[in-house]
């Protein structure tokens, strides 16, 4: 089965993720499932058989332990610099709200195709079997969005749980968050930087099982809009997310999805 997983809080929901999830329900396959880990109670949830709403704090107690353990550590809590635009580089606690739901999703589904998708991603066209096959080949353990000279973009990552190497990659990823000190020596602690540490340290003989679906790019520009993902998905990162979302809703005649 094809499973999408994301995490969300009420602030993000109110600021546009509700519209994004509506687009997923419009364009994602009818036989997929969508796991949404909610940090706060979302009062106006959608009711669709593909959706499974999960309480993030109950499902991911290791996240609470992690956040409490490192709450005063600037290498983990975003306070290593006073530059607002740079704080994310050392904010492992914030981005652990992505990684621990991902690790929990692996336990829940056990097998199949697992795709992490940020909740600020808007679907603009149907995700056909051909599109999914290109992004998520069954012979690969992981598909990701690399960039030539900076960290990968982890708003979309595919993990193949039908083969052992997909499980192995996620297990290595989780160790960085559950083994004391593993993040201490990293230059940065956001999830994309940690993902790349797992990727480059994955066994050399298995590197060919990792697929960079943005490998052709010669630029560090946002891979969603440089790679084949642009056929079906857009990603509204950073500031002015609402404005960016409205632009694409208008461009693709999807204003009926707006909340």
Instruction: Give me the CATH number covering residue 140.
Output: 3.90.550.10
What mean pLDDT do residues 70-97 have? 94
Q: What is the pLDDT of residue 236?
A: 86
Q: What is the pLDDT of residue 26?
A: 97
For residue 238, pLDDT over 80 is answered with no
DSSP label at residue 48: -
153 close to 192: Cβ distance less than 8 angstroms: yes
Rounded to a whole number of angstroms, the CA Rg of the chain reads 18
Residue 174 belongs to what domain range?
2-257
| The CA-based dihedral angle spanning residues 33, 18, 146, 197, taken in that order and rounded to the nearest 10 degrees | -80
What mean pLDDT do residues 215-238 have? 89
What mean pLDDT do residues 208-219 have? 94
Number of domains comprising the chain: 1
| Length, in residues, of the chain | 259
Residue 43 binned pLDDT confidence (cut-offs 50, 70, 90): confident
CA 116 from chain center: how many Å?
A: 4
No. of helices (H) and no. of strands (E), the chain = 10, 9
CA 39 from chain center: how many Å?
A: 15
Q: Tokens 């993040």: give the residue.
A: 183
For residue 239, pLDDT over 80 is answered with no
**If you average pLDDT over every residue of the chain, what do you get?**
95
Q: What is the pLDDT of residue 244?
A: 87
């Amino acid at each position: 089965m094809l499973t999408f997983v994301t995490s969300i809080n009420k602030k993000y929901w109110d600021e546009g993720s509700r519209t994004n999830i509506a687009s997923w329900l419009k364009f994602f396959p009818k036989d997929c499932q969508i796991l949404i880990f909610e940090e706060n109670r979302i009062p106006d949830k959608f009711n669709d058989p593909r959706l499974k709403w999960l309480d993030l704090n109950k499902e991911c107690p290791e996240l609470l332990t992690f956040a409490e353990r490192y709450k005063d550590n600037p290498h983990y809590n975003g306070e290593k610099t006073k530059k607002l635009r740079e704080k994310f580089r050392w904010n492992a606690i914030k981005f652990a709200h992505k990684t621990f739901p991902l690790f929990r999703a692996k336990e829940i589904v056990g097998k199949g195709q697992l795709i992490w998708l940020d909740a600020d991603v808007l679907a603009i066209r149907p995700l056909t079997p051909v599109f999914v096959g290109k992004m998520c080949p069954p012979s690969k353990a992981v598909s990701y969005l690399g960039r030539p000279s900076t960290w990968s973009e982890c708003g979309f990552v595919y993990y193949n749980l039908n083969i052992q190497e997909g499980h192995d990659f996620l297990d290595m990823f989780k160790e960085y968050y559950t083994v004391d000190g593993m993040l201490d020596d990293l230059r940065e602690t956001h999830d994309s930087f940690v993902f790349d540490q797992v990727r480059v340290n994955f066994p050399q003989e298995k590197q060919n099982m990792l697929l960079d679906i943005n490998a052709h790019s010669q630029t560090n520009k946002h891979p969603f809009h440089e790679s084949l993902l642009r056929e079906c998905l857009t990603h509204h990162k950073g500031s002015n997310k609402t404005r960016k979302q409205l632009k694409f809703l208008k461009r693709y005649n999807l204003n009926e999805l707006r909340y």
